[in-house]
């Protein structure tokens, strides 16, 4: 069977809630490539990809590292890491990034394009009485702007940021924020992400997982597979079919 086909195996328990990753799952992180292409013709796509990869690298670095004899946290908010990743990506690609261009691109990141099926799926879950939320690396200000910009106000019961614990996903404490907010065990919550590493981390934590494989990537070679794999947020509705 095609590795990317929707896994129709039934989840072990009927879920009581759904948590979505934000960046890459509800929001298209590569939509910044359009503006990047205008600013740096011929380099927009490469900049968008490298920017995202370095952003995630930085979240892992500050989560797993400590500084000085007291082993102090080196945590920085997601907004700051995103800005630093942009500067790094431009330098690696040999692009001269002005202060004005950085401001333009960072403002675009605040208002990333939403995937078109978002509202349809969230409304369908809401109509069934399913509790929904975001569990994201984004800091609260970023998420607040993103949710409003995407027109998702009123469709999410929870918007949860890891900033409160200063630990990024895939740290278990980051995933635990979801169960704490919902008051449900992980096995009764669906976690949806388009990032394979995030789906794996959530699976390890104990969530029922949907990996939205939008870009037809190979599955991770370590760890258990997600409960389901699909290509759209609509595939989360299969968890609630009789």
Cα angle value 203/173/213 (rounded, 5°):
35
Give the three-state DSSP class for 61.
helix
pLDDT level of residue 13 (50, 70, 90 thresholds)? low
Q: 29-110 maps to which CATH number?
A: 1.10.150.240
Active site residues: 21
Q: DSSP assignment of 146-173, as one string?
A: HHHHTT-TTS-SEEEEGGGTT--TTSHH
- CATH 3.40.50.1000 in the chain: give the residue spans: 17-28+112-240
133-145 pLDDT tens trace: 999 999 999 999 9
- CATH 1.10.150.240 in the chain: give the residue spans: 29-110
What pLDDT does residue 70 have? 75
Tokens of 155: 């469709």
Residues in the chain: 242
> Range with the lowest mean pLDDT among 11-15, 44-48, 141-145, 218-222?
11-15
Spell out the residues 6+ positions from residue 208 whose beta carbon is closer than 8 angstroms to its own: 11, 12, 13, 15, 187, 188, 189, 190, 191, 227, 239
138-184 pLDDT tens trace: 999 999 999 999 999 889 999 999 999 999 999 999 999 999 999 99
CATH superfamily of 17-28+112-240: HAD superfamily/HAD-like (3.40.50.1000)
């Amino acid at each position: 069977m095609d590795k990317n086909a929707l896994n129709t195996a039934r989840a072990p328990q009927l879920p009581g809630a759904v948590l979505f990753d934000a960046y890459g799952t509800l929001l298209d992180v590569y939509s910044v490539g359009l503006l990047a292409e205008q600013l740096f013709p011929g380099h927009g796509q490469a900049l968008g990809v490298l920017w995202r990869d370095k952003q995630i690298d930085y979240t892992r670095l500050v989560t797993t590292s400590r500084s000085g004899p007291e082993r102090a946290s080196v945590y920085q908010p997601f907004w700051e890491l995103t800005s630093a990743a942009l500067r790094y990506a431009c330098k690696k690609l040999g692009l001269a990034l002005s202060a004005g261009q950085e401001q333009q691109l960072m403002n675009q990141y605040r208002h990333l394009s939403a995937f078109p099926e978002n509202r349809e799926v969230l409304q369908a879950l809401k109509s069934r009485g399913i509790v929904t939320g975001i569990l994201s690396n984004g800091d609260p200000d970023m998420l607040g702007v993103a949710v409003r910009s995407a027109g998702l106000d009123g469709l999410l019961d929870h918007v949860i940021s890891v900033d409160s614990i200063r630990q990024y996903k895939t740290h278990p404490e980051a995933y635990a924020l979801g169960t704490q907010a919902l008051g449900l065990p992980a096995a009764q919550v669906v976690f949806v992400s388009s990032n394979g590493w995030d789906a794996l981390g959530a699976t390890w934590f104990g969530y029922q997982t949907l990996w939205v494989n939008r870009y037809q990537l190979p599955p991770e070679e370590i760890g258990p597979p997600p409960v389901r794999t699909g290509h759209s947020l609509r595939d989360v509705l299969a968890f609630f079919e009789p």
